[in-house]
Each structure stands twice: as structure tokens, then as C-alpha cells.
Structure 1
Amino acid sequence: MTVTPRLGRAGTSEQIHYLPLVLINLATLFSAIGNGISMVVIPWLVLERTGRATDAAIVAGAAAVPLLIASLFSGTLVDRFGRRRTSLVSDALSAVSASAIPIFAVTSGLSIPVIAALAALGATFDPAGMAARESMLPAATRAAGWKLDRTNSLYEANYNVAYLIGPGVGGVLIATIGAVSTLWVTAAGFVLSIIVVAFIRLADAGTPDPGLRPASIWHGTLEGLKFVWNNKLLRTLALVDMAVVALYMPVESVVFPVYFTELDQPAQLGSVLMALAIGGIVGALAYAPLAPLMSRRLIMICAVGVLGVAMLAMALLPPLWVILVLAGLQGLVYGPVGPIANYAMQTRSPEHMRGRVVGVMTSTAYAAGPLGYLVVGPLLDQLGIASTFVALSIPIVVIAIVCAALPVLRELDHP
């Protein structure tokens, strides 16, 4: 997809190519739809068998641990083997792991340990593909003649579209064909991503320059960790994101599934996750026009604060329509946070290290996840859903107050 040439800075003609940006977003859409379906199906499989929130939390935690480790090393794989190649291999392995659950179901059977092991295996392969596609965004942005804020706004909105489609489709498919069969659709999403990525052509997407490749997986990962830690802004964003994700991730993966399983309403679970995604789409798309007019720092502080307050309101366990409004509000205010984090990574990392920076920043978001899952399961069993919402939301409000006092976040608005 090419349009009329534009005049370059030196008076030369530069072709504008939108196709790489379209393909990256399309591959991300297919892959994330598959993951969005799994988000509903995996806890549902567990709760169908035992009905215990602690078991659902254990399985979610089992998937979170390899997700953390794989995310940490995934960026080094991208920088060492190339962005397109890493994305293709990652999606192929994810498709195989998603297919394993229905295969086990009709052969040896599914127990909780088997589900946990297969969920962990699937989580191991996803981060490399995500890091690879995200690392291609700056080059695709240059090819399209866009600004990074606009690209990141579209990319994060697209991601939320996937999580609008995935959980909703997952809830409906569970109610119609069953949870096990639904995972074949997850595998199909990864296959479609493979097909799309195969057509991406970007100068920085192939095999990296041998002189710039990390010497080894371990050495390259350490370089990425040191780079992020030594950059005050990236370090602060990583720590804030880690804390917020650890507190909020169990809500989507454990608290909501438990609540709607008790009501025997899988479609309602899907609708709440869809409301979150719709809000996220609108919030992410709104970021592009907001970025030139409003402080990125202020947008981020408001996002974290309103997220915590909306979660606190859910502790009242209001009617479904109120929960949907609150979920949409959470997605709306938090939608710009992803584009802001992407902007910080893209403008503060050298080209040959971008995969590692993305990988490290992604891994920190999941670092406290296993602890959050292990705490939330017993909280639900002992205190109930309302008290668990309170216990998770108050720390998020405190984080927003701390962010307002951090001068380093003012760098988000520096050129």
C-alpha cells in the first residue's frame, strides 16, 4: 500500500508506505484475539472442574511465572535472531500449545496440574512475538510518515480491539461448543498471525547486523536490564506498571471469572471484559489528539487514580449495567498508558537494543503477577469478592498519589 511521494527534508522525494504498519497491527490483532479467548477459557476450565477460586489462581499463577521469565529473555531473542523471524516462530509455538489442551482432553484427559502445565507452556511463547512486532513500530512509523504518538495510539487501540473480540467470542463459544473446543479458535488466531507477518517487509525486521547482535542470550538480557535500570524514566515506568498490573491483573483473570461462575453467566463475564476493551479502544485512540494538548505525565497520573477509584466502586457489587460502565471507565482512562510507555521506550532506546528494552519493560509488568494471584485466591475464598476488590483498589489509588510526587515523570513531556 503506497501513496504519492512526499517531499523529504533535503528536497528529495520519499515514498510513504502504509502496508508494514497495517500488517503489524493485523498480526497483533489475530494473535491477541487468541490470547483474549484463552483469558476466559482457561479459568473457566478450572472452575468447571473444582469450583475453587484458589485453583483458578494457582493456574493463573503457573502461567504468570513463565510469562515473566520469557518476557525478560524475549527481547534478546528479537535482537539476536531478527524481528520477523522471532514473531513467526513464536506464533507457531503458541498455536501448538493452544492445540495441546483439546488434544489432551480427548486422549489422556485434563486434570488441574495438566491445565496449569499447558497454560504455562502457552505463556512461554507469547512474549517473543509481542516484543518482535512492537519493535517494528518505529520503522513502520517512518515508512508511513506518521508521528510515534499516532502510531502508538493506533497500536494500543488495535490491541484493545482484540481483547474486545477475544473474551466476548470466548464467552459465547464456551456457552455453545464448550471450553475445550473453543481453544481450537485460539490456535487459529496464531496461524493467521503467522500468515500476515510473513508478508512484512521492513529494513530493520530481518536478520540483525552481526556486529550489533548480543553476544549471547544471557549477556544480551543483562545489557537490557542495565540499560532500563540506568534510565530513571524507564525504571520508574517499569516499577509503576509492575505494581498496577500485579494489583489489576488478578481482577480480570480470577475475580471476575469467580464472580460470574457463581452466577453461571459466562456471557456476562465476556461482556465485562468487552466493556474494558471498548473503553481501552476509545482511550487509546483519544491519546493521539490529546498528546499535543495535554501533559503525558498528567494523563498517566489521572489514569492510575481513576482506575483505583473505579475498582473501589466495584466492591459494592452493583447491577451488571453499573459494572459495565465502571469497566468501560477503567479502560477509557487507562487506554493512553500503553502509548505513553511505548513512546518512552521508543525514544530512549537505541535501534539495536529496542527488542531488549521492550522485553525488559514487559517482563517487569508481570514480575509481581504470581504473588498477586497467590494472594487473591485465598482472599476470595476467605473474605469474598467485595473485600477483595477493596484490598486491590486502595493500593492503586496510593500509587497515583505517589506518581504525582515523582519529578522524573516530567521527562515524559521532554523532547
Structure 2
Amino acid sequence: MHINHSKFRYLWLSFLVSSIGDWLYKLAIPIIILEKTGSAYHAATTFGVFFIPWVLFSLLGGSLADNYAKKRILIIGNLFASLAGLFLIFIVMNGTINFSLLYVAVFVLASVDPLIHPSFQSVIPEVITSDRFANANATIQTIDNTLSILGPLMGGSIVTLLGGSNALWLDVGSYFLAAVILLGLPKSSTKQQPMAQMLKKLCKDIVEGAQYSFQQRVIFSGSMMFLFTNFALNMFEANFIFYMTQSLHYPVIDATIAMSIGGVGALFAGIIGGKVVNQFRAGFLLSSSTVLAGISTLLLLLSTNYVYIGIVLGLISFFGNINVITYFTLRQRTVPKEMLGRVVSVTRMVSYASIPVGSWFGGLLLNHGQSMLVVILLAGIIRTLAGIGAKFSPLGKEE
């Protein structure tokens, strides 16, 4: 197969556009809920609902990636996300939020990501050669992390000026534009299977993908580390807007400034990630950076100044993104291309399973009168222990 490296720009450009819209979504939904109800529980639960489809549909997404045209999956997925975004706007524009409908709308929109993410990850080897995997992953993370700086300020300003419900229209537009950009990708090397034949193979593929993932002890150990890491991270992250605006009484702009400062660390990780991954053992990087991210989380207990919080968030994001770049590269280098989509989906399903629980648990603690300091303390301890456990797992011994 002829590799045209220039085609990679269509992939990262579509990612950039849709991610800009995602930042509006991430900020608008909790702000809308907190403005209308003041409920940390509902804000955190809504955040958690967004990740439930990763547990339910990841294996299906992996099978689609390995058996169907990845380009088509990505385009159809973004178009469907536009429609789901319209449904969400309809729900939040009502004076009183119907949380049952809101959870359904969030679930429907969130279902797109697990169905197309394996295709996004596994189309990379079809666009570039293996010697550029680390740099490609670092590029994607750099885009994501640059938006971690610009996204909060831009999103916070737009939400403040237009209102949360109106800002969501830009999110809808971003998905549609991303679908248009993806038309520039080369035709997928995966032979398109008839739908009936693909469905017949689905169960078999899911079983094969799960068996392979569980048998690869290094890869599976990594997903288990992320299981505990994500639980801890989202106890805090799901309640960040509540913490800043309701507990500490900062205006939204100060909260977004703290988030933007935190994005600097993530950006730096994306810039140097390719070089770091190629110079150190993956197991050492993954376990060590997880421990350091946990210790950094505990630093949030020392001050409530929003600039200080932003700096600490930068440390946490730096180590967390070194994690992501390292694990993605390890997975792409060790898993056969024909299995990569399913392995991506299985490991992502395992690691994401704890996000809804962590988000809900953090909101529940706050709803029962516990302070955010308790949430931060538990999150830091759990994440540190996850890194220590990984050090003694097959992942930590990876050569």
C-alpha cells in the first residue's frame, strides 16, 4: 500500500475542528446545570454519563474498525454527532431541565466516540509508516493540549457572551465541518464488508479481540492502570467547575484561566512526548508518570489560589499526557494491524469503565456534605497507588 504522509493532515485537522466544538460542550453543559440548579451531583453525573457508551460500545467500534472502511465510519460518525447535538440543544433550551432527557441526549451524543475512536486510532498506520507513529501520536496530543490552553478561555468567553445553549450550536457545526474535512483521507485499505456479513462476524471478532487483549499481559496491565487512574482523575475533574464557581466562588473566567494554565503542561508533554517515548522503557514511563501525577494531585490541597491551581493542573496534565502518548505508541508497535482496532476498543473499554463511577462518586461525596478537599485527597492517593501497582505488574517489567 502506498503511504501518502501528507494525507495525515486531514486526520489531525478534523480532530482539531471537532475538538474545538467539544470544549464548548465541556464548558457549556456543567455551567448550564449549575446556573439552573446549582447541583454538583447532576453536573458530575452528566459528566459521567458521557463515558458510559465507552463501556457499552467500544467492542463494537473495534469490530467496525477492523471490518469496515475507516474513512466512512469517521465521516458518518461526525454527521450523526451533529444530529445528536441538535437534540441536546433542544433539551437544554427549556426553562427547566428534564434530567432524564438530558442524560439520554448526552448518552446518544457520547455514543459516537467509542464507535469511531478505534477507526481514528487504527487508520493512522494506513496513512503513515511505523517510524512516525510516536510523532503522529505526539501531534494529536499537541493539538489536544494546545486546545487545553486556548479552549477554556475561548469556550468560557463564548459561553459567557452567547449563553450555554447558544454556544452548543458551534459544537454542532464543528462535527459537520470535521466530516467534510475527512473526505480528504485516502480510501481505506480495509475491504468493505457487506453489512450482513459484518454482523455475522461481529461476535467472533469481539471474542477474538477480547482474548488477544487479555492474553497480552503488558497491554492489559496498562489498561488496568488507567482504570484506577481514570477513577481518581474524574472524581476531581467532573466537579472542577463546581469547585471553582460554587465552592471557591470564582467567576467562570477565573476557572477557565486556571484550566488554560493547566493546559500548558499538557502542551509541553505533547511537544516532547515523541522524543521521550523513544528514549525510555514504556513500562518505566507509564508507572513513574502515574505516581508523579498522583503526587501532583495532592498539591492541590496546599492552596486555593486559582493561578496556583492552574500550575498544579499543568503538572498533572504533563504526566497524564506522557502516559497517553506512551501507551498509544506501545499499543501500535506491539499489536498487529489487523487486530489493532479491536484491541484499542477493548483496552479503552476497560480503562474508561471507571470514569462514570468516579464522576458519580465524587459528586455523591459533595452532595452528602463532604468538602472538595476530601475528593482531592482520595483522588491523589488512588492515582499514586495505581502507579505503584503498575510498577510491579507485567507493564512495569516491560522491556
Q: TM-score, normalized by length of structure 1?
A: 0.88
Partner of residue 49 from structure 1, selected from 36, 44, 61: 36
Q: 2:7 maps to what in 1?
A: 20
How many Å separate the matches in 2 of 1:390 and 1:343?
A: 31
Q: Contact between 2:73 and 2:119, CA under 8 Å: does it hold in 1?
A: yes
**Structure 1 residue identity aligned to 2:211:** K
One-letter code aligned to 1:184? W
* Equivalent residue number for residue 332 of structure 1: 318
**Do the aligned residues in 1 keep the contact of 2:235 with 2:379 (CA within 8 Å)?**
no
Aligned to 1:9: none
Name the Cα RMSD after superposition. Answer: 2.4
Structure-2 change in CA distance of 1:70 and 1:170 (3 Å): farther
1:253 corresponds to 2:238:
yes
1:288 maps onto 2:274 in alignment: yes
Q: How much does 1:102 deviate?
A: 2.3
Match of 1:323 among 306, 309, 315: 309
The amino acid that maps onto 1:259 is Y
Offset from partner CA, 1:304-323 (integer Å, 9 cap, x none)? 11111111111234311111
| Further displaced range: 319-328 or 283-292 | 283-292
1:73 match: 60
Distance 1:24 1:74 in 2: 18
Structure 2 residue 306 is matched with structure 1 residue 345 = no
Contact persistence 2:10–2:185 (CA under 8 A): yes
Cα gap change, 1:74/1:162 in structure 2, threshold over 3 Å: closer, same or farther? farther
Inter-partner Cα distance in structure 2 for 1:273 and 1:71 = 29
SS of the residue corresponding to residue 136 of structure 1 reads helix
- 1:358 aligns to 2:361 (yes or no): no
User: How far apart, in 2, do the equivalents of 1:165 and 1:78 lie?
Assistant: 31
State which of 153, 156, 172 in structure 1 corresponds to 2:138. 153
Aligned to 2:17: 30
Match among 184, 188, 193 for residue 199 of structure 1: 184
Provide the C-alpha distance between the structure 2 equivalents of 1:377 and 1:408, rounded to a whole number of angstroms.
32
Shift in CA distance, 273/229, structure 1 to aligned 2, threshold 3 Å = same
How far residue 25 of structure 1 moved from its aligned partner, in angstroms, is 1.0
Q: Is the 8 A contact 1:168 1:274 kept in 2?
A: yes
How much has 1:161 moved relative to structure 2?
Answer: 2.7
SS across alignment from 1:291 = helix
Q: Which residue of the other structure, out of 274, 285, 290, is the alignment partner of 2:260?
A: 274
Could you list the per-position Cα deviations for residues 215-263 of structure 1 after superposition, in whole angstroms to 9, with x for gaps in the alignment?
A: 4333322221111001101110111111101210232222x11112212
Which stretches in structure 1 are left out of the alignment for 5+ residues? 1-13
**More helix per residue:** 2
Of the structure 1 ranges 307-316 and 160-169, higher mean CA displacement relative to structure 2 is found in 160-169
TM-fit CA distance, 1:191: 1.2
- Displacement after TM superposition at 1:264 (Å): 4.9
The offset of 1:202, in angstroms, is 4.8
Contact 1:30–1:193 (Cα < 8 Å) also in 2: yes
What residue ranges of structure 2 are gaps of 5+ in the alignment? none
Q: Secondary structure at the match of 2:192?
A: coil
Please, what TM-score do these two structures have when normalized by structure 2? 0.91
Q: State how 1:162-201 maps to structure 2 within 5 Å.
A: 162-201=147-186
- Counterparts of 1:364-383 in structure 2, within 5 Å, are 364-381=350-367, 382-383=369-370
The alignment covers a number of residue pairs equal to: 395
